[in-house]
Amino acid sequence: MFLLWWPAMFCFLLRLVAAPGELSPAGQRPEPPGVHALVGARVVTRPGDAGANATVIVRHGRIDAILKAGEALPTDARVWDMSGKVIYAGFIDPYLPETTAAAPISNRATTPIGATSGIAFPGVPQTRQDMGATGPGYEVARITPAYRVADKYAPREKENQTLRALGFTAANVVPSAGIIRGTSAFVLLTEADPNRVIVKPDVFQHVAFETPGDRDEGYPGSLMGVIATVRQAFLDARHQVAARVYFTAHPQSSRPDFNPALDALRPAMGPRPVLPTVFEPGSALMNHRARLLSDEQELSPILVASGQEWRRPELAKASKAPFIVPLHQPELPAFPEKTDWQQVSLNELRDWDWAPEIPALLRRQGLTVALTTYALPEREAFRSNLRRALDRGLSEDDALGALTTVPATLCGVESQMGTIEKGKLANLTIVEGKSYFDLNATVVGVWIEGRPHFPEPPAPSAKPSAKSTPKSGSEARVAASPADYRGPLATPRRLLIRNATVWTCGPHGVLPRADVLVENGLIKAIGKSPLPFEGKVELEVDAQGFHLTPGLIDCHSHSMILGGVNEGTLPSTAMVRIGDVINSETENIFRQLAGGLTTANVLHGSANPIGGQNAVIKLRHGEPPEGLKFAEAPAGIKFALGENVKQSNWGEKHTTRFPQTRMGVRAFFVNRFTAAQQYRAAQAADGPPVRPNLELEALVEILEGRRWIHCHSYRQDEILVFLRTMEQFGIKVATLQHVLEGYKVADEIAKHGAGASAFSDWWAYKFEVYDAIPHAGALMHQRGAVVSFNSDSSDLARRLNLEAAKAVKYGGVPEAEALKFVTINPARQLRIDRWVGSIEVGKHADLALWSDAPLSTAALCRQTWIDGKLYYDRDRAPERFVRLHAERERLLSKAQAQAPAGESSPGDKARGAFFRRALESAHDTGRCYECRRND
């Protein structure tokens, strides 16, 4: 029985697609005829075509002709009356996840501390990491470029039905796990032999900037780690080719590894990539990062929109990549009380209100847009969400293109589908009613390769139920753009600040009643008021009674980092870069400007002995990440010693990763720098090509004096031993950070020439800070070390001038010297003192104007200038918040009017569509009194 059954079943499946050719054996259901005439419909052949009454002739799966109304039909055609219907080219979803549970990558906060990795990490030979799977592969288990959806694909009837009911006929099925995920396969959405339905294997390579969130999956655990991993993998792929070439020429040399993962990456890489790479960046800022990474590695990127593009449309534009756009639109929660709306943030409300406009927004940037059903908690919402996107400015032509020609071209199947023209596959979407974009119209069926599919049960009209959708789909957006609230308030080419008490922090000391002339962003002249000069100034600031200081500099900040401060999974993560994940969107920038801060050293955390590369930024509010970077600042890196790196306070589980003692910390440094020396030597020597190792590259840069160490340190013994160990490798340390017991070895620190970047008065929160004293800064200063006070806190960074005052209180540092703890001294420590840190002719015009002496608790920051541009003005700040507040009120009343009533609280399934917390706003608020342990 079974034997008889299964070929029958097989043929039944086959029946659904055209297979002209062999006659089915007798006894099986005979093939239906393959010639059809679809008569009487309005046929929209391609986007831009208004559609005329025409007849589509289908012959054995392909479009044979498009006849004008009234033309004679082929005599063999089966006639289908299509009057009252519209026929489109079959829709294509370019991003259909392989597993039904797939959701957009996590765009929420990550807490990447708590790894269990042993010593094994990429970069240490012979300690390859758990592959996570049997067989050969990449050293990071979540890098699986060799994975092919085409190898495993089987049609899923239920999902196909849902998609067909929305008008889709084909889709690109994409892998949904990992960071580099593998290749997608283009399929027809019909239940048949996979050999038939797969139109094209290996359509794209897929990359997602996905962090494991709270899950413990080893390296990488942070966003910057994910980016570093992707970067290293592509470098490895290039290396593998070079290594093979060398081995072929030198068969007696060391044999390269077999690594199918790296082979699989080759087609995606330049100089002329044959396989586009689809990135799921997960945030507005990462759109641009994906582009920069693509340029670095010569990839041809396509981006999946995160829905956050409204934050930075210009970065989407700068990505110059086609976008695959989900129509995710957050739903409103049914709060039981009106007061519960207090907890909803402006960001969340904006996200909700902007969502329908994302496709139009991207089109306005001149970008190519394809639409996808991806990321919808319930696919049924696709058409009503699309309607809202149209109401918000997406044109019907663009929408149709985004469903047909654009995805066909992106997927490289444009010769087969995307338009209704002779010779293409007979993939058709048939709608009864005015048009697909009219919610009263119904998708009555699709044709896939010449076979009709009718929805079962018949598709309901797309009109959504009243409860889950807004009362009106077309209401105007009330959310503003963040750009409306940031950017310089004045950009005078020539600026004169008159009559201030000028604390130069330079050789001129404190100048009473002085003028400062600024030209083209630089300090042009300083002198006793009135300062003589030629020509006119564009703006004059009367600073009578006020005090002018250099813009303050924070030598230790974590306030502007996206997706995790620590890549704490490995003992050395020299390959990760804070510069990859600068968060230009955080309100912290404005808050710190309001305290006179102009420059911040944004550091990796202290979870490991060798942390990530830091980034020095200027607080140019409104600039995107690349625009914040302090271009002239030399490269640096975070190191750390003591309790954090030996995991003392990580919990009972963390007792096996090397190092667990201060003894081990030293040994680890010796090991890594020796490895870096050998790496450099191997590169210089003749022989097989050396695998580029981003971790060791960074360490080589340190050895060669091109990258400066900022080392988190506490106890006197570890400080001394660290300095000596670095001296052994000929390395001068830029700064010791925190350096709480530095006062005990101040002479040695001064002699080495390391800067001391300290807390003013923190102590007693860990055992290793029991001997910390607030006089430490003064003592180190008096022994000749260059001392700064840093914030390490988004709160303290708002009032660093008052931290400097503590050097006067504890240890009696003169006021003008104490102010240097937050101006020229951190500039010297960061090697940027040629440009900033003091008010001297030729330096950047980074200035803070105070209502009182800067170290007085009565002093309020009145203005903050960067590069001669006014970024903060106390008199104008209230107006900004009034406007922000008004925007939130408008959004709230709109949301409250549309929110479902308290009783009809949506179920668990709909919860997926509630407000999402964007990565860009994940780290802004909250008390941080107990979170110091690994910062």
Please report, as residue ranges, which positions from 779 to 808 form the binding site for another protein (by CB under 8 A). Answer: 779, 783, 794-795, 798-799, 802, 805-806, 808
Tokens of 51: 């559609």
Q: Which of residues 605-644 bind another protein (CB under 8 A)?
A: 643
CB of 752 vs another protein, minimal distance in Å = 13
CB of 929 vs another protein, minimal distance in Å = 4
Burial of 427 (0-12, 13-18, 19+ CB in 10 A): buried
Greatest Cα pair distance, the chain, in angstroms, is 107
Select from 81-89, 461-469, 598-606, 757-765 the region that touches another protein (CB under 8 A). 757-765
Select from 291-299, 344-352, 528-536, 680-688 the region that touches another protein (CB under 8 A). 344-352
Residues 6+ apart with CB under 8 A from 349: 479, 888, 891, 892, 895, 915
Nearest to 517 by CA among 551, 540, 488: 540
Report if residue 927 touches another protein, rule: CB under 8 A: yes
- Distances from the Cα of 155 to the Cα of 148, 152, 198, angstroms: 15, 10, 10
CB of 488 vs another protein, minimal distance in Å = 17
CB of 200 vs another protein, minimal distance in Å = 28
Which 8-state DSSP code applies to residue 399?
Answer: H
Nearest to 104 by CA among 387, 358, 308, 345: 308
CB of 517 vs another protein, minimal distance in Å = 30
Of the candidate residues 28, 53, 161, 345, the single one contacting another protein (CB under 8 A): 345
Report if residue 565 touches another protein, rule: CB under 8 A: no
CB of 770 vs another protein, minimal distance in Å = 6
Q: Is 436 left (phi over 0), alpha (psi -120 to 50) or beta?
A: alpha
Q: Choose between 288 and 916: whose C-beta lies nearer to another protein.
A: 916
Q: How far apart are CA 82 and CA 569, in angstroms?
A: 62
CB of 875 vs another protein, minimal distance in Å = 13
Which residue's entry shows tokens 């002093």? 859
Q: How far apart are CA 842 and CA 697, in angstroms?
A: 34
CB of 629 vs another protein, minimal distance in Å = 23
Provide long-range contacts, Cβ within 8 A and 24+ apart, for 849-853. Answer: 849/497, 849/500, 849/541, 849/543, 849/546, 849/547, 849/548, 850/546, 850/547, 850/548, 850/549, 850/596, 850/801, 851/545, 851/546, 851/547, 852/547, 853/501, 853/547, 853/815
Q: Contact at 8 Å (CB) between 581 and 227?
A: yes
Side chain identity at residue 213, one-letter code:
G
Rg of the Cα atoms in the chain:
32
Report if residue 901 touches another protein, rule: CB under 8 A: no
CB of 281 vs another protein, minimal distance in Å = 17
CB of 799 vs another protein, minimal distance in Å = 8
Q: Choose between 64 and 887: whose C-beta lies nearer to another protein.
A: 887
CB of 661 vs another protein, minimal distance in Å = 17
Report if residue 907 touches another protein, rule: CB under 8 A: yes
Select from 271-279, 360-368, 445-453, 765-773 the region that touches another protein (CB under 8 A). 765-773
Of the candidate residues 168, 743, 789, 865, the single one contacting another protein (CB under 8 A): 743
Q: Which of residues 580-599 bind another protein (CB under 8 A)?
A: 587-588, 590-591, 594
Q: Choose between 347 and 427: whose C-beta lies nearer to another protein.
A: 347
CB of 318 vs another protein, minimal distance in Å = 24
Report if residue 35 touches another protein, rule: CB under 8 A: no
Report if residue 917 touches another protein, rule: CB under 8 A: yes
Report if residue 334 touches another protein, rule: CB under 8 A: yes
Q: Choose between 108 and 320: whose C-beta lies nearer to another protein.
A: 108
Of the candidate residues 152, 653, 724, 751, the single one contacting another protein (CB under 8 A): 751
CB of 662 vs another protein, minimal distance in Å = 16
Q: Contact at 8 Å (CB) between 168 and 376?
A: no
User: In what helix (H) or strand (E) does residue 294 lie, and over which residues does it extend?
Assistant: helix 284-297
Report if residue 896 touches another protein, rule: CB under 8 A: no
Report if residue 727 touches another protein, rule: CB under 8 A: no
Report if residue 761 touches another protein, rule: CB under 8 A: yes
Of the candidate residues 126, 195, 252, 339, the single one contacting another protein (CB under 8 A): 339
Of the candidate residues 916, 919, 922, 935, the single one contacting another protein (CB under 8 A): 916
Q: Note if the bond before 356 is cis, omega within 30 degrees.
A: no
Strands (E), 520-621: 522-528, 539-542, 547-550, 552-557, 597-602, 610-613, 615-618
Q: Choose between 481 and 648: whose C-beta lies nearer to another protein.
A: 648
Report if residue 336 touches another protein, rule: CB under 8 A: yes
Q: How far apart are CA 273 and CA 477, in angstroms?
A: 40
Report if residue 454 touches another protein, rule: CB under 8 A: no
Instruction: Provide the edge-to-edge strand list for the sheet that holds 277-280.
Output: 180-183, 205-208, 277-280, 301-304, 323-326, 369-372
Q: How far apart are CA 108 and CA 97, in angstroms?
A: 21
Residues 6+ apart with CB under 8 A from 497: 515, 516, 518, 540, 541, 543, 548, 847, 849
Report if residue 849 touches another protein, rule: CB under 8 A: no
Report if residue 921 touches another protein, rule: CB under 8 A: yes
CB of 926 vs another protein, minimal distance in Å = 7
Q: Choose between 300 and 385: whose C-beta lies nearer to another protein.
A: 385
Q: Which of residues 215-234 bind another protein (CB under 8 A)?
A: 215
Q: Choose between 35 and 102: whose C-beta lies nearer to another protein.
A: 102
Of the candidate residues 913, 918, 919, 922, the single one contacting another protein (CB under 8 A): 913
Q: How far apart are CA 583 and CA 625, in angstroms?
A: 6
Q: Choose between 687 and 812: whose C-beta lies nearer to another protein.
A: 812
* Ordered alpha helix ranges (H), 662-771: 662-684, 694-703, 716-728, 746-752
CA 544-547-548 angle, to 5 degrees, is: 110
Q: Which of residues 866-895 bind another protein (CB under 8 A)?
A: 877-878, 881, 884-885, 887-888
Q: Choose between 480 and 696: whose C-beta lies nearer to another protein.
A: 480
Tokens of 154: 């089987």
Report if residue 378 touches another protein, rule: CB under 8 A: no
Q: Contact at 8 Å (CB) between 327 and 385?
A: yes
Task: Give me the half-sphere count of Cα atoms (radius 13 Å) on the Cβ side of residue 353.
Answer: 24
Of the candidate residues 40, 688, 811, 868, the single one contacting another protein (CB under 8 A): 811
> Strand, helix or coil at 632?
coil
CB of 7 vs another protein, minimal distance in Å = 40
Report if residue 480 touches another protein, rule: CB under 8 A: no
Number of residues that bind another protein (CB under 8 A): 93
Q: Choose between 31 and 214: whose C-beta lies nearer to another protein.
A: 214
Q: Choose between 115 and 188: whose C-beta lies nearer to another protein.
A: 115
- Distances from the Cα of 805 to the Cα of 4, 181, 859, angstroms: 91, 53, 11
Report if residue 651 touches another protein, rule: CB under 8 A: no
Q: Choose between 81 and 879: whose C-beta lies nearer to another protein.
A: 879
CB of 353 vs another protein, minimal distance in Å = 14
* Ordered alpha helix ranges (H), 298-395: 313-318, 346-354, 358-364, 382-391
> Strand, helix or coil at 348?
helix
Q: How far apart are CA 880 and CA 346, in angstroms?
A: 14
CB of 726 vs another protein, minimal distance in Å = 20
Q: Which of residues 93-152 bind another protein (CB under 8 A)?
A: 101, 103, 105-106, 108
Q: Is 349 left (phi over 0), alpha (psi -120 to 50) or beta?
A: alpha
Tokens of 409: 């071209």
CB of 574 vs another protein, minimal distance in Å = 27
